[in-house]
Structure 1
Amino acid sequence: MLMIKVDNKKQLAREKSIQSIRDSAVHLFSKHGFSATTMEMIAKHAKVSKGLAYNYFKSKNQIFELIIDEHLSKQEAIYKTISPSQSAQEYLREFFQKAIDFAMQEKKTFILITVCLFQPNSVTLSKKMTESIERRFAPFKEAMRDRFRSLDIKDPDAEMLFVKTFMHGILMNQCTQQGDNFPKMKMVELFLQRYAPK
């Protein structure tokens, strides 16, 4: 019984340290940018030793990937609630609405990830992380491809890229200068006319 309590204490201390390192990284990446932030800065801000920080994370890239992974887990859970039995137009409408709502709930993290990925000397995602992203979102991509095929769209992959580009534009406008004044759902409805029954 005593051993279980000691193990639980160690686990709680470990989780607390990891969360502190993660939160410090978010703060410092936001304040100084990814390339200017060092592991030493993160450890100091988290009030842990540099050695302990390196014990949990091999690099700041690994911390950044944890931030992305947590963000994507939440996003994936939300997208899984979209009913697969809808038409292309209905499916995409719900997809856009949920993506916009999620981006606003996670605005700080969304902006942080976007900015860090486009900075000079930015983070390079590992092959494992890139594969994880592809694997996680494969079911949603396939659901959309099926709907595009049902509409006799000749190149479903090009259409996917078109939808992705539109969505990123909407999210960037929503999360940056336009904010609440940006007529996001009006733009979505205009876009969805593309998939209206003929």
Structure 2
Amino acid sequence: MPIKTSQKSENKKQQAREKSIERILSSAIALFAKHGFSQTTMEMIANHAKISKGLAYNYFKSKNQIFEQIIDTHLAKQEKFYKTIPPNLSAKEYVREFFNRSIQFAKEERKTMVLISVCLFQPGSVSLSKKMVENVEKRFAPFKEAMRERFRSYGIKEPDKEMILIKTFLHGVIMSQHFNDTTTCTPTIIEMVLERYDYKN
């Protein structure tokens, strides 16, 4: 009996902890979007989350750490999107699927993506830690290597440069969708880019 009671107590503490963290993250997202990263303070986040500032600092050392947690959660969702891409696709089909999933994810996570972009590039923006940058690279390394392999199979001598081209194009499409309604022409634009691989089949 004492063991079960202790376990229940620990479960309640864990649930309370998770709820507090969730409130902190939700409040931070709302305040970063409203006031910007530089103008938002830990005290504002704690007040919005209806917890003490001390408790907020107990879970996060700074608002930078909160922002990195927001990014990490966002990246975990994105990583899950890419993991289901069939592994046996050709370069053209793999890139098409990668484009389509990236664009779909951007639509579903539009608010968070815009918030992250604004916070990273506005004056007084947050600086990502070396650990966070390494985390991003680690998460997406398998997908980058999958593309490199397909580019190599087509005889592309510099697959990393091809990756930069694909990445730049995709970022352009996603940003144009955020700020202008170009949804109807996106499939056509994607097919135009994918034509560069036709002659290699």
Fold match (TM-score > 0.5)? yes
Cα distance in structure 2, aligned partners of 1:124 and 1:38: 16
Q: Structure 1 residue aligned with 2:188, among 168, 186, 189?
A: 186
CA deviations on 1:21-75 (whole Å, 9 max, x unpaired) are: 0000000011111111111110010001111000000011111111111111111
Deviation at 1:179, TM superposition (A): 5.5
2:198 alignment partner AA: A
* Pair 1:24 & 2:45 matched: no
CA deviations on 1:120-145 (whole Å, 9 max, x unpaired) are: 11111111111111011001000111
Cα distance in structure 1, aligned partners of 2:40 and 2:6: 39
* Pair 1:107 & 2:110 matched: yes
2:119 counterpart residue number: 116
1:53 alignment partner AA: A
* Pair 1:51 & 2:54 matched: yes
2:90 counterpart residue number: 87
* Pair 1:64 & 2:88 matched: no
Q: Percent identity?
A: 63
Q: Structure 2 residue aligned with 1:13, among 16, 24, 34?
A: 16
Question: Can you give the 5+ residue segments of structure 2 that lack an aligned partner in the other structure?
Answer: none
* 3-state SS in 2 of match to 1:85: coil
1:131 alignment partner AA: E
Cα distance in structure 2, aligned partners of 1:164 and 1:149: 17
How many residues of Structure 1 are paired with residues of Structure 2 in the alignment?
197
* Pair 1:148 & 2:159 matched: no
CA-atom RMSD in angstroms: 1.1
Deviation at 1:197, TM superposition (A): 3.4
2:190 alignment partner AA: V
* Pair 1:78 & 2:81 matched: yes
Deviation at 1:114, TM superposition (A): 1.1
2:170 counterpart residue number: 167
* 3-state SS in 1 of match to 2:30: helix
Cα distance in structure 1, aligned partners of 2:117 and 2:195: 29
Cα distance in structure 1, aligned partners of 2:23 and 2:177: 29
1:195 counterpart residue number: 197
* Pair 1:139 & 2:147 matched: no
Cα distance in structure 2, aligned partners of 1:34 and 1:165: 26
* 3-state SS in 2 of match to 1:86: coil
TM-score normalised to structure 1 length:
0.96
TM-score normalised to structure 2 length:
0.95
* 3-state SS in 2 of match to 1:197: helix
Cα distance in structure 2, aligned partners of 1:186 and 1:76: 26
1:47 alignment partner AA: K
Cα distance in structure 1, aligned partners of 2:11 and 2:135: 30
1:179/1:42 Cα in 2 relative to 1: closer, same or farther (>3 Å)?
farther
* 3-state SS in 2 of match to 1:34: coil
